[in-house]
Amino acid sequence: MDVIEVKSGADVLNSTAALPLLPVTVIIPVRNEARNLPRCLAALRSVGEVFVVDSQSTDETCAIAESAGAKVVQFHYQGGWPKKRQWAMDTLPISHDWILLLDADEVLSAELAQEIRQAIQNPKIAGYRICLQMYFLGKILRQCDASFWKLSLFRKGRARFECRLKEQDASMADMEVHEHLIADGPTADLRYPLVHHNVDSLSRYIQKHNEYSNWEARVLLQPEGGSPDAGTDLFGTQAQRRRWLKRKLYRLPGSPVLLFLYRYFLRFGFLDGVPGLIYCGFQAVQMFHSKAKIYELRNGRV
């Protein structure tokens, strides 16, 4: 399905103010997101309910959320399952029948809000997939194979995160990494994307993806990637196809180099300029980190 590009910035934020109330509950997991959160919350002024689920931030994250009228809840991760977003879905006193999961670096456009308002009137649908319109280092990535879909909007009680790894700890992040929501019922795609500002700073990006590679290395050591719900399937959903291809690619010698060549040349990442080069390079480096950690685990070094 084609995705329509939407604006990012003040025009999008200002246009949301004129929208009628959107009867959904938004859940935003955060930790030290003072830089991104104002932009995210400004676009949610017409949303019925907003929960900001914090992990003991040391910056102004909580003050920013409270000043915007969001409900702030603290999450204290002790390892294992559930992690942050599933815990919020299970625990919070959610008022609306529909839940929208956002990250602090994502922006709900006026066009997408209007589409959601119409979509949730359909009684047959349990959830909707939304595409991410990726910004990296301030530039939209039109190539690089950077766009992907995720089930972000769903009826309360009609979707749960798959658990791909039960034995987890804080070194693997306190929030779901690449676990996906599994809907109990039919799903559909929305036309307008979420605007996703993928990087706050390169240092922060590297720190986050170090945690992700800790998680990914352990997941990939399990049969079928540790996912009895979604699994891997070349002819399945986008998530299942990506997992199938990733497991095959990881077995090849020099796969990080192959991934870079695929994204940068075959998927035209070079057309995205320097941000495209850095993004493709970082994706390859993360794969190298995961493979190195798999080797470490197999040799009993951890």
Q: Are residues 103 and 129 in the same domain?
A: yes
> For 7-13, what is the mean pLDDT?
46
Angle, vertex CA 52, rays to CA 48 and CA 58, nearest 5: 155
Handedness of CA 151, 156, 162, 165 (dihedral sign): positive
pLDDT of 161 higher than 50? yes
Q: Categorize the per-residue pLDDT at 11 as very low, low, confident or very high, splitting at 50, 70 and 90.
A: very low
Give pLDDT, residue 227. 52
Q: Are residues 46 and 165 in the same domain?
A: yes
Q: Which tens digit of pLDDT belongs to each residue from 39-52?
A: 999 999 999 999 99
55: in domain: yes
1: in domain: no
**Domain's final residue, options 200, 232, 250:** 200
pLDDT of 4 higher than 90? no
Number of separate domains in the chain: 2
219: in domain: yes
pLDDT of 16 higher than 50? no
**Domain's final residue, options 200, 225, 255:** 200
pLDDT of 81 higher than 80? yes
Cα separation of 21 and 283, whole Å? 39
269: in domain: yes
Q: Are residues 138 and 217 in the same domain?
A: no
Q: Categorize the per-residue pLDDT at 276 as very low, low, confident or very high, splitting at 50, 70 and 90.
A: very high
| pTM value > 0.85 | yes
Q: Are residues 150 and 214 in the same domain?
A: no
Mean pLDDT of the chain: 90
Give pLDDT, residue 14. 46
3: in domain: no
Q: Of 105, 99, 19, 28, nearest to 65 (Cα)?
A: 28
Q: Are residues 288 and 236 in the same domain?
A: yes
Cα separation of 293 and 287, whole Å? 10
183: in domain: yes
Q: Categorize the per-residue pLDDT at 261 as very low, low, confident or very high, splitting at 50, 70 and 90.
A: very high
Q: Are residues 262 and 278 in the same domain?
A: yes
Other beta carbons within 10 Å of 121: 7
> For 192-214, what is the mean pLDDT?
92
**291 torsion bin: left (phi>0), alpha (psi -120 to 50), beta (else):** alpha
Given a contact cutoff of 8 angstroms between Cβ atoms, the answer to whether 196 and 152 are in contact is no
On the question of a cis peptide bond just before residue 82, with omega within 30 degrees of 0, the verdict is: yes
Q: Are residues 216 and 78 in the same domain?
A: no
Give pLDDT, residue 264. 98
Span of 21-35, 154-168, 244-258, 280-294 with lowest mean pLDDT: 244-258
Q: Are residues 101 and 224 in the same domain?
A: no
Amino acid identity, position 42: A
Per-residue H/E/C for the chain:
CCCCCCCCCHHHHHHHHHCCCEEEEEEEEECCCCCCHHHHHHCCCCEEEEEEEECCCCCCHHHHHHHCCCEEEECCCCCCCCCHHHHHHHHCCCCCCEEEECCCCEECCHHHHHHHHHHCCCCCCCEEEEEEEEEECCEECCCCCCCCEEEEEEECCCEEECCCCCCCCHHHCCCCCCCCEEECCCEEECCCCEEEECCCCHHHHHHHHHHHHHHHHHHHCCHHHHCCCCCCCCCCCHHHHHHHHHHHHHCCCCHHHHHHHHHHHHCCHHHHHHHHHHHHHHHHHHHHHHHHHHHHHHCCCC
Full residue range of the structural domain in which residue 48 is found: 10-200
Give pLDDT, residue 10. 43
101: in domain: yes
Given a contact cutoff of 8 angstroms between Cβ atoms, the answer to whether 44 and 108 are in contact is yes
Cα separation of 220 and 232, whole Å? 12
Cα separation of 32 and 299, whole Å? 35
Q: Which tens digit of pLDDT belongs to each residue from 108-153?
A: 999 999 999 999 999 999 999 999 999 999 999 999 999 889 999 9
Give pLDDT, residue 9. 46
pLDDT of 248 higher than 90? no
> For 80-104, what is the mean pLDDT?
97
